[in-house]
Amino acid sequence: MVDNKIYPEIRTKGRILMGPGPSNVHPRVLRALSAPVIGHLDKEFLDIMNLTKDLLAKTFMTSNDFTIPISGTGSAGMETALVNFIEPGDKVLICINGLFGERMADIVQRCGGDLEVIQGEWGKIIEPDEIEKALRMRPADIVGIVHAETSTGVLQPIKPVGEITKKYGALLVVDAVTSLGGAPVRVDEDGMDVVYSGTQKCLSCPPGLAPITVNKRAEERLASRKNKVQSWYLDITMLRSYWGKERFYHHTAPINMVYALYESLRIIHEEGLEARFARHILHSNALKAGLTAMGLELFAQSGYQAPMLNSVKIPEGVDDAGVRKYLLTNYGLEIGGGLGPIKGRIWRIGLMGHSCTRENVMLVLASLEEALADQGFHVERGAGVAAAREAYKVA
């Protein structure tokens, strides 16, 4: 017998998720997630896999044949993108301006890669000139960079990086975990060779899959490996055989998560990519207008602020955890704190996918004003909401 007082049924009320991820999930996606399980080699499921691949390639804005979701979270996507293309001794240049660039560098070392880093400032982009200078001094086989740095809210321009890496014969690996579905990820146009993401952010799907796309140039490098890929589970030469025409068994796919991803991609393309990107910019601009009207200062470099993840400096004398607890306790509203060297210095406010709405912008501004006042920080009453309202009128 199970004692229901000790082990109660899960009855969470949920939260309004406005942190760095996960985001709130559309009810249609939750319904898809609860559809009956079928076999992972059942023709009906194989058809869903094919449709998911097609929509995923459209979301990545690519014609790459190899575009699939890896069974694992976004970190599994990062590891897949690196372990498959790095062999011991390969020269790898990683651009670091936040926590997730640091994680890329860690994986490179675990692969036995000959690591060099460009150490940028947290909160600012990596200047393309710095990448060219580094490659001129020491050619690299692979360059890794983060598109939208989750720890800081910086949106990195990729096209100039793609042009530079191609000029120097390097493969470009891009982290698009936070950006995919919320900002343009132009894989083909911007010269990205390998790109990975996660389902739980702007795709507004539960965490558990890591979309990845690999172009022909990267596939050629993979085919020329001298050693086996160090990870059996993440070896994309085998995964390609499962997701391709052969359908060779590799692992039991997370069937219901694929359902959920498929439905989330349907929703994205019903809205349209350009309309979706415009929605994220609209609500981000309103949020930023409200935050600055409240006397708060934005953290990420001006002109390079990711619309789906807005970072704001915590005022002196205000308790980071106290404010976040206030929002969660009184409004069921979650925002994120800082990581690494900027822990306790910033809040990260997400506007991702299904969570990116006018209602949520107004809620976070009004409730944050209240939380700050509770700590004795003076905010002109209603200033944030009023400024956001004006921003919407202008738009």
Torsion-angle region of residue 89: left (phi > 0), alpha (psi -120 to 50) or beta? left
Q: Which residues of the chain have pLDDT under 70?
A: none
Q: How far apart are CA 125 and CA 211, in angstroms?
A: 24
Helix H or strand E segment including 171: strand 171-175
Interacting residues of 244 by C-beta distance below 8 A, sequence separation 6+: none
Residue 252 is part of a domain; what is its CATH number? 3.40.640.10
Q: Are residues 250 and 296 in the same domain?
A: no
Q: What is the pLDDT of residue 395?
A: 75
Q: Are residues 349 and 213 in the same domain?
A: no
75-93 pLDDT, tens digit each = 999 999 999 999 999 999 9
Number of other CB atoms surrounding residue 350 within 10 Å:
30
Q: What is the pLDDT of residue 249?
A: 86
Q: What is the pLDDT of residue 246?
A: 82
Q: Are residues 308 and 238 in the same domain?
A: no
Q: Are residues 289 and 249 in the same domain?
A: no
Give domain status of residue 143, yes or no.
yes
Q: Are residues 281 and 132 in the same domain?
A: no
Domains in the chain, number? 2
Q: Are residues 241 and 312 in the same domain?
A: no
Tokens of 64: 């790459």
Q: Are residues 212 and 83 in the same domain?
A: yes
Q: Are residues 282 and 260 in the same domain?
A: no
67, 165, 183, 184, 199 from 60: Cα distances, Å: 9, 20, 10, 8, 13
pTM of the model: 0.97
1, 34, 101, 249, 336 from 151: Cα distances, Å: 45, 32, 10, 37, 10
Q: In which domain, by residue range, is 43 found?
A: 27-269
From 239, 254, 269, the end of a domain falls on 269
Q: Are residues 107 and 241 in the same domain?
A: yes
Q: What is the pLDDT of residue 9?
A: 92
131, 150, 189, 232, 255 from 177: Cα distances, Å: 22, 8, 19, 23, 21
Give domain status of residue 18, yes or no.
no
Q: What is the pLDDT of residue 206?
A: 98
211-252 pLDDT, tens digit each = 999 999 999 999 999 999 999 999 999 998 888 888 888 899
In three-state secondary structure terms, 2 is coil
Q: How far apart are CA 180 and CA 263, in angstroms?
A: 16
Q: What is the pLDDT of residue 256?
A: 98
Closest CA to 146 of 168, 166, 117: 117
Instruction: Supply the DSSP symbol for 390.
Output: H
Give domain status of residue 22, yes or no.
no
